[in-house]
Structure 1
Amino acid sequence: MVTQWSDSQFSFTISISVHIIFFLLLQFSVCYTTNDTILPGGFISDSRTEVLVSAGERFQLGFFTPDGSTERRYVVIQYHKFKSEVAWVANRDHALSNNSGILVLTKDGQLKLLDENNRSSEYWSVGNKGSKPSSNRKVTLMDSGNLVLSEKDEISGLWRVVWQSFDNPTHTFLPGMRMHKNMTLTSWKSASDAEAGEFTFKQEQNRENQYIIEKSPGNIYWKSQLYADLFRSGDDGIIRTMSYLLSNFSSQRRTKEDFSSDLPNQKIDFRNLSKRSDYSNTRLVMNYDGQIQLFRWNDRTTSWLNVWSKPSDYCDIFRICGDFSSCNSENKIPCKCLPGYKPKSLDRWNTKQFSDGCEGNTQVCDGNNFLDLIVKMGGGVGFAVNNAEDCKNKCAEDCSCNAYACGNSTTRNANRCWIWSNEPINIQQYADDGHTIYVRSAQSDIVVKKRDCDICGTDIIPYPLSTRPNCGDSMYYNFHCDTRTGQVYFDAPNNDTYRVTNINKEKRIFSIHIDEGQTCGNIDEMTNFLQLNQPQVFNVIEECSNDLKDTSPNFMLQNTSLQELKIQWHPPPEPVCNSSTNCIDLPNSDCTATGNGTSRCLCNAPFRWDSMNFACTSVGKGKQPKGSTQRHMLYVALGILGSAIFILCTTCSILYFRRKRVANTLENRGSVQGNMAVQMYDNERHIKDLINSCQFREEDKKGIDVPFFSFKSILAATDDFSEANKLGQGGFGPVYKGKFPGGQYIAIKRLSSGSGQGLEEFKNEVLLIAKLQHRNLVRLLGYCIAGDEKILLYEYMPNKSLDSFIFDRTLCVLLNWEMRFNIILGIARGLLYLHQDSRLRIIHRDLKTSNVLLDEELNPKISDFGLARIFGGKETEGSTTRVVGTYGYMSPEYALEGFFSIKSDVFSFGVVVLEIITGKKNTGFYKSEQALSLLGYAWKMWKENTSLNLMDAALGETCNESEFMRCVNIGLLCVQEDPSERPTMSNVLFMLGSESASLPSPKQPAFVVRRSLSSTASSSKPEAINELTVTIEEGR
C-alpha cells in the first residue's frame, strides 16, 4: 500500500528538515567559535559581519574600513562601544580590497587571514614561527584588548602563549603592554591608510625611561627632555607618568604630591593618574601627523579626551633651530641665533630652514667669556658647588663645556651647578620658568657699544633703542626688558605694550606681536592707533600681517593666530652730553649746545656722524667747484687709460718673447724615457737662463740639482687642479696635492698671477731651497715653468701645518707636551741651520706656525722661503723699504723701520714658542682688559708668578712643568724689544737642552705698550699694530 502525501504534509516535513539542519550547523559552528575565542577549524567571515567580542565586551576583533577609504579592508581590534577607535591592525601592509576576507585558525594551529573566494591568497598569518604547528590551540580576545594565540600543554594541561598582539603593537599602546627597547609604535600612513607611516615612537636606547619619535630611521623628530631641577616645570612629570604606563606599572609610582610641579595648563590633572587603576581607560597613540598622543575616556562627555601630546608646538621638534640658537613658537620667524652667533648657512636660514643652526666667528674655547641668557634648556648634569664662581670655573676649565647654570635645586635645598657639555640645542626662549644660563661665547663676536643697553634674553638692544635711562638715546626710550623672562617689550605712545619678536640693526627694523584680540590693520591705521605720529622717530613700514608661518614641517603645529607689525626707527642724532667727558666714546667730537636747549657730541670737521656704527667718519676736506672737479677727473682718467695701454703693450711684448724662448728651450730637450712624470733637464743652464740673479757667486750656480716637471704631468697629477685636491690657499697662491706614477704624493704650489710675491720670490725659492738640506726644512722636489705658470713642488706633508693643530680645539689634544717640546726643538734646529750651519747665511723673515709643516711622525719642517734673504761671509743684517711678512710675528725693528737680522727670526721664534705652549694666537683674542697680545698676556702672568696659567688646557697631565716654565722664559727672552737682548739660536738650543742652566730673567717684551707705527706700506691703523692679523705679502 502506498501512502499518499498531501501538499501540506510535504511542506511541513521540509520545514522540519530545514530547521534540524540549521540547528546542527549552528551546533557545529559553536564547537569552533565562541564569542571571544576561535578554535582550530573556526573562523570569522567579513561577508557575514562576524566578530569576536571580549568576555567583558570592552574590545572586539573584526573587519574595518577607515573613514575616507573605499578600497582598504583590515582586520582590527576596536573598542566595542566606540568602534571608530582602532587599537591594533593585523594586515596593515596587505589590505584586502573587498569584504571576502576570513580570519581562520587552521587545523594545524596557524592564525591566517585569507580570501574566502581564493584560499591560497594569504594576507597575514602568525603561529608557525618558533614552534611546531599544533591542533591544540585557540585564539582568544582578552578584555585588555590583547589578541592571544595559546597552546595547551599535553602534560600539565596549562595554556601557554604562542603569540600575542601586545608583543606586536602597531600604532597604539594599551594598559597591560610593556614597552621595551625593541618595541616600537609606528604611525599610520594617513587617516585613511593603516599602512606603516614615517613616524615611530620608541624607547631611547641609552637613557632610562626616556623616549623618542623618529621620522625615518635614525632621524630624531622629537625627544623627551628631562629638565634639570633648576626649572620648576617641564616634561618631567608627564614623562614619569608615561614611564609608569609604558613599564606596565613596574616603574616607581608617583604620588599625588609628585605632580605639584607639572604644567598648570594641561588638559587633565595628572594627580588622578597616580595608581594603576586610573589608567584603565587610557591609550597612547602614535598619530600619522607625528604626534604621540595620550587619550583618556571621559564619561561625562562620552568621548576620548586628548590629555597630552608631543611635539605640541614648533619648538618641541628636536634640533629644529640647530645649535646655538633659540626657539619661540609664538614668533613668525621662530628661530634666532644667540647673541654673537650667526647662521651657519645664510641661504638656508633665509629660506626658513634653520636646522643647520648657528656658529661664532671665533673659537669659543679660548677664554672664559660667557653670555647670560634667560632661557629654558633640556639636559644638563647637576652637582653641588659652594658658589656661582666655582660653577663658572668648572665650565671655563673644560673646553667641552658650552653652557652652565647655578641656582637652588627645586627638589633639594642646596646650591647646585649644571653643566651642558654638548652644543646647546632645544633652547626655548621666554619660557615661563626660564632661568639664567651662561653660554660660552667669544667676546669679540658680541659687538656691544658703551651706550648700548644690556642684552635682554637673546636680544642685543642696538643704539639708539633704550630700555632704561642712561643707555641708548632718550628719544627712543620706548622699550623695557622683563628680566624674569628675558623678553623685550615695546611701550607704544598709546600706552599699550607689545612683545618685540625681532630686532634687525642693519635695517633699523623691529617687529612686534599683535595679540589676536588687538587691532591689526594697514600702515595708516596702525600708525594712528599706536600714536606714532609724535615724536616721529618710529614709522610703520608694513601693514599688520597674520600669515601662517611656513617653517613648520607639520601643519598641525602651526600657530594660526600670529600677527606681527614691522616698525622702522629713524637714524638718531648725535648722542646727548653734559660735558666733553661724555664724548670720550665718540672720538673726533665735542660736546656742543644745540638749538633745542640740549648739548650733543657733534662731530668735528671733516668728520660726519655715522649713526649705524656710532662713529664720526672722515669725509675728506672741502670740496672743489663742480666744473673743476669734473675736468680733473677727466685728466686723471685719460692719464690712467694711456698708462694702461702702454703697460699692456709692453707686457704683451715681453711675454711673447719669453714664451718663444722657453718654447724653443723645451723643444730642444728631446724626449724622456717611458712615461716618467718627472722630466730631468739640464737644470743649471735652464735656471741660469731663467734667473738673472747677482746674489749668488758663480760657483754657487753650479751643480744645482732641481728636477724640472712638465706642466702636462702636473695637470694629470692634480686632476687639472681640481678643488678636491686643493690643500689650502696662501698669499703666494693655492697649494694642491698631486699623485704621480708609482703612487708618490707631492705638494704643488702654484704661483698666483695676482700675488704680490711674484717672480722674484719664485726665483729665490728655486735656487735657495735646492742648496738647503736639513731634516727640519721642507725639501724642494722640483719646479715647473710653462708660459705664465710658475710652480714649485715640495715633499707632501700629510699633517699639514702646525697651526691647524694647536689652534683647533679638537686636534690640539693630539699634541701632548713631549710632542710640542720636540716640535720647538726641531724648529730651533732648523733656524740654527739657516743662520749658522748652512753654506749660506739665511734670514727667513716669515716664520710663523702656518709656515711650519708636520710630516707623518709630526716632525716640524720650516717652509715658505719666498721672503728669505741670503747673506755672504759674516753679514747678519740688512734693511729694506719693502716690509713684507705677517704682523704678530714681525720684530718691532723690522715692522717699524724695515731693519732685519737673524734676531728678527729669533723674535718670530719666540712668538711661535708661546703659541705652541699656550694654544693661543698672538693676535685676535686679547682685548684691553688683559693685554694687547699673547706677548703682553704672557708678560703679565710672568710678573705675577702665575705663568702656569698660560698652559694649554689640552696638555692636561702630560705637561712637564719645569720644561714649560723654561719655554715661557725662553719665549719672553726671544721677544725682547732690543734685538741685542735676544739670544741667538745656538743659545736658544743650549737653554732648551740644559735642565741645570740658569736662564736670564726677561725684561718687558715688545708690543706690550701701544706704540706708533712709522710709515710702512702695511697698516692702515698705526695705533692698533698688535691687533692686526692680516698677512702681508705672504707666501704659501
Structure 2
Amino acid sequence: MGIHYRSTGAFLSFMSLLFVSTIPSQYCCATDTLTQAQQIFVGQTLISFRQIFELGFFSPRNSGKLYVGMWYKNISVHRVVWVANRENPLKAVDSASSLTIGKDGNLNLLDGTRHTVWSTNVSFQSNSSFAVLSDNGDFILKDNVSGVIMWESFNYPCDTFLPGMMIGTNTKTGEKRYLSSWKTEEDPSPGKFVGALTTDTPPQAFIWNGSNSHWRGGPWDGWKFIGIPDTKQGYANGFNLLPDNQKGSAYLTFNTYNISYVTFVVLTPLGSLKIMNWDEEIKNWYVKWVAPENPCDFYGVCGPFGVCNKKKAPICDCLKGFVPKSTEDWSKGNWTGGCVRRTELLCQKNITSLALGKAKNDGFWKLNAMKLPDHFEYLYNEDSSSCQKWCLRNCSCVAYAHVAGIGCMVWAGGLMDVQQFSFAGDDLFVRLAHSELGKDTKKAKLIVSFTTISAVFVLATFVCGLYWRRANKRGKRPNRLRDFVLGDIMDNSRDTLQETASRDQVIHGESSELPTFCFNKIVVATDNFSITNKLGEGGFGPVYKGKLEDGTEVAVKRLSSHSGQGSEEFRNEVILISKLQHRNLVRLLGCCIEGEEMLLIYEYMTNRSLDTFLFDAKKRVQLDWAKRFHIILGIARGLLYLHRDSCLRVIHRDLKASNILLDDHMNPKISDFGLARTFRLTQELAKTHRVVGTFGYMSPEYAMGGLFSEKSDVFSFGVLLLEIVSGMRNTILHYHEKYANLLGYAWQLWNEKKALDLMDEALAESPSQSDVMRCIHIGLLCIQDHVVDRPTMSAVVVMLSSGADLPLPKQPTSTMQTVLDSDLRSQHNDVYSVNEASVSVIVGR
C-alpha cells in the first residue's frame, strides 16, 4: 500500500470530535482496571498502563447523545477508535450514567435510572471478573480466578482497525469480525459501508455498500492483496493474513513494530478505507493510503468483460475479442452494462463443424499488469501448464491466471472488476476464438518471436544431445529427470510406508515439468565453478553463485560425489519444492542431471543466509528489531504454509539459521528441503530409523526416539526464535559455561524474571521491551519437552500477530540435548561442527 499524501481541512473535521467537557485530572480513574467494586461515571476514565489509550464517556459535536468509547490519550486531535453502545446511545444530559461489572461478571452500561442499555452478554458466569484497558487499545474482560478472557473489544471492532486486531471469518463457527463505518462524521451508529474478508480461498479484501460491492482489494498472495498495487514488499506494510484451512478460518492482522508509531486503518462514512498516521511535528493526522482512490477503483465500473484504465479517456474499454453490449450506453459514459463476446468460441459451436475440421482451436490472449477479476475458482493443486489445460478442457472457463503465492485461478461467466495497472498486477489469460487471436499485429510479432525462440531451443537441444551422446560413449548414463526421480525411490526406504506413498503421489504428478538446464550453461554461468563464486557448502555439497545468459543471478547446488546422503537429498528436494509456492520459501528454478552431475538451480538471495548476519559481531547491528521480527514472522508463515496450507503436508526437519535465506529486502525464505518429509492430511506422527537433522535444533522425541511431526519443526522454530532475539547460537557453552545451552540459559533468565537480559546488546535502545518479552515467551512455549505442550504453527502466528494472553511455559529439560550432543559428537567427529552439520544417526530401539 504505497500511496502517500497529507490531508487536512475536511478530513480533520472528521477526526476532531468534541467531548462533553474537558476531563479534569482529579476526576480520572488513575488506573487501567475496572473491578466489580468500582463504577465509571461521566467525567471519569480508565487509562492504559503506559497512558496510550483512554476509555470513558464522550458526546460527538451537536449530537445530544452520549457514548462509551476509547481514544488516544496524549494526541491533541482526538480520534475515537471504538464505541461500546453505538446502536444504543444515552442522552447527553444523563450525567448519572455509569459503566459497571454486574454480579454475573458482565460489563454493563447503565443509564441514570439504572436500566441496562448495553452489555457484553457473555454466557461465562463469574463473580470475580475485572476489565482492563491494554496499551494496544484492547478492552478485556477476564475471570480473576481462572484468567480466562471472557470478552474483548478487539473481537467487536467498529470503524477502526488497530494494530493487533484481527479481522476475518471462521466458516465453521460462524464468527465474523469486520469494520462498519460510522453513519456520519458525528454519528457513531453503523453506517452503510462494511469492510471485511470474503470467504473465498484465498480470501479477498472487500468493502460493501449495503448489499452492493463497493471496492475490492483482490485475493491474498502470501504478502499482499494482489488487487492493490504496492511498491512495498514482504511485511513492510504491516498487514498479514493468518489462514487455517483445516479450521475454516482466515484473519487479517495489522501490526507496527515500533510502539511510538501511531497508525490505524479507518472505514469512513463515505466508504473510503484509509491508513492514518500521526505526525508529531505538525501535530496532526495525515492519510498514508486510501482506497478507492480513482474512478477505476470502484467495483465493476466497466461491467462484465470491461477493463478500466485510469490513464485513458474514456477510462473504460472492452477486453480484446469483446464489444460493448450497448453502444448507445457506452457513448453516454454508462459502462456498467459491460461487453459481450464478438466471436463464438469453438466449443460453443455445433459438432458438425468440429467433425469437418473447419474450425480451429480456441486460444488464450495474455494481458499484463492486470487487477484480476472477481468470482474466481481456485484450483488447489494445478501448476501453470495444467492450469491452462484445465481451462481449455472446460468450455465454461473464460480465463485463467497462475499467480505466485496463490496458484491456479480460473473464471466462468462475466469477468468483473478488471483493471489495467501501470505497474504491479498479474498476467490474465483470456479465452478467445482462434480468429480473434490473429486480429492484432502484436500477436503476429509474438508468433515470430516465439518461432525464433523455438528455433534457438531446438538448436540448444541438439547441442545438449550431442554432449549426452558423447557422455554415453565415455560410459556415463545421461539420466532424464523423470527417470531419476522414478528410479531408485526405494533406496533407504526403511522409513514409514506413508512417507514413501506420499512421495509417490508427488512423483507421478508434475515434478517432471521442472525446467532442466544444460550442464555446459551452468559451467559458463558459474565460471567453471570458480572458488570465487562459491557461496558455501552443506551436507548436500557446495553452492555457487552464477549468472545465466539472460542476466538472472542464481545459486547452484552441486551434488558432492562423496556425500553419503546427497543423492537422496537431491531427489527429495526436486520432488517437494517443485510443488511448493510461497513467499517465504526459496524458489527452485530448475535442475540439471547429466552423467554423474546433479545440480539444483535456485533464485539467488542477495543477503545470503540469516546466520551470516545473526552470529557476526559487525553485521548483527544491521538487524534492528523491526527486521528481526519481520524475519521471525516470515519464517513462521512459511512453516504454517508447509504444515497446513500447501498442497502437501510437509515436515522440514532441518530448520536452522543457515537454512533461512534473505533477499535484498531482508525477507526470509526457508530453504534446503533435502531432509523434508510429507504427511497425509490425517497423519499426525511418524517414526523413522534414520534420524537426520542438526544438533541443537532437534526436538527431544525425534533425537532420542526417531518420532517426528509438525511439533518437531515447532521446536526448531523455538530454538531459532531465541537465537534471533539473543544473537547467540543454541550451543552457547563457549559463552556461558554455567548453562547447558541457550535454551537452559533462556529458561533460567525467565524463571528469575530477567528474561530481557537475553536480548542482543545490539538491540538495547531500539525495540519495545514488551515485544521482545513476548517473543522470548513464545520461544519457550515452542521448546517445551512434551509434544502436546507445544503450540501449532497456526497458533504461533496468531501469538506473534496479536496481543492475546499467552500460557505459561513449562521448564524444558535443557541438559538432554547436551548429553545427546556429547554422545553423538564422539561418534561423528568427522562431520560435526557446532549447530551447522546436518547428520544422519541410526537410533537403536
Question: TM class, shorter-chain normalised?
Answer: 0.3 to 0.5
What is the TM-score normalised by the length of structure 1? 0.33
What is the TM-score normalised by the length of structure 2? 0.40
